Amino acid sequence: MRIWLLLFILATGVMADAAPQLNEKFGESSKCKPCHAEKVKEWSGSWHANSHYKSDEYLRKSIDYVGRKSRKSHNAIKVQCAACHNPRITVIKTGADYEIQSVMKLDSLSEVNKALESDALNEGINCLVCHNVDKIDEHADASVRGAHRLKWNKVGIMSGPLDDAKSPYHKTQSRDFFKKKSDDLCYVCHANDRSEEGLVFANTQKEMKKSKKLCVDCHMSPHKMGFASNLPIDNKRPKKRMVREHGFVGAHTEWLWEGALSLSVQKKADKLLVTMKNENPHNIPTGFGARELILDITYKLGSKPIRQERMSLTQHYTDKRGKATIPHLATTATKDFSVPAYGTKTVTLTPPKNAGSVSIALSYRLVNDEVRGLLDLEEEIWSKKMLIDKIGIRL
């Protein structure tokens, strides 16, 4: 009886819309490496390369957590997250039919399971994800993210920023979202992150102010002379071009935080006003919920510490029952703690009356204590403090 039910479900085609099949010829970065070795090497050390269930502990445990707290099947949640984490997945939506299969353990031969088991998906945001995009749906509702906003090229056609790029192995085309409008490609995923309940908990696109800088200027690199390809196409040598690095540095990159904000302190009566100044075109922190700024304050009398304090600037999330939860399941959030783009945020401290000096260190953590505990995150990267700035004054 079970096998007949399975055959009926598969035959009725009740699976939701599916993305195009992965390009078998260029689906994995190893297929790109012979011609684009340097770019593949840069990408391989990035968090884009780790943007999948097996390599990203935060993603993996978030999916597991949502699975425990919701009525959706584990694989259905994986598909939902894949819209941004693995956009070239061949199934981009599931429905009640798949949930029935999953509950009855009839899903082993389903298109969903086949899609999630693809080796190509273990590379997260790989070369094909960006360079196989043909069009971005700019008119889609803001809640439509990732693969749902994209139209892919046909097999063997690659998109990029160069008007004169040629390859003997695939066709090439220039697209504006790799040039002056490259932020549009970033915002396909890095905007309007919202919970299952519709709460927007991250929106870098909304924060961004008018600036001459593009996302790629900081998170890839400014243009510099190098090689997009190592093919000998310029008098039997690789052609030098103005290119960007493909390391996609971001919040996980410690050196990027050095000087991201600047500290100043003003004494006013018996208070200290500590101001954090942001000269970046988006909020700090940005990009995700539960990120944290930490002020470590040490008051001294002479050289002896007399009091130490820690101030955490972060958001906390609650579910529909009023209990602490992760951003993806939240219905409400506490007040935004981030320092606005090209703006400042000031906090007030009350020093001990006998303090002769104060030293303040401003740091960043990827995940606050609450969410890290809920997800039981164990890797050091999630608890590591990354120093931004420090200051000391006499009182």
Ranges for all domains in the chain classified under CATH 2.60.40.10 = 254-394
Predicted local distance difference test score (pLDDT) of residue 22: 52
pTM reported for the whole predicted model: 0.89
Tell me the helix, strand and coil percentages in the chain, rounded to 5: 25, 25, 50
Predicted local distance difference test score (pLDDT) of residue 21: 56
Phi, then psi, of 10 in degrees rounded to 5: -65, -40
Average pLDDT over residues 352-380: 97
Q: How far apart are the first and last CA of the chain?
A: 81
* pLDDT bucket at 15, cuts 50 / 70 / 90: very low
Rg (CA), the chain: 24
Q: Would the pLDDT of 5 be above 60?
A: no
Question: What is the architecture of the domain spanning 254-394?
Answer: Sandwich (2.60)
Task: Count Cβ neighbours within 10 Å for each residue of 50-67 and write b for 16 or more, e otherwise.
Answer: bbbbeebbbbbbbbebbb
Task: Count Cβ neighbours within 10 Å for each residue of 150-182 and write b for 16 or more, e otherwise.
Answer: bebbebebbbebbeebeeeebebeebebbeeeb
On the 0-12 / 13-18 / 19+ scale of CB atoms within 10 A, 255 is: exposed
Q: Would the pLDDT of 283 be above 70?
A: yes
Q: Are strands 157-160 and 171-174 parallel, antiparallel or unpaired?
A: parallel
Q: Would the pLDDT of 3 be above 80?
A: no
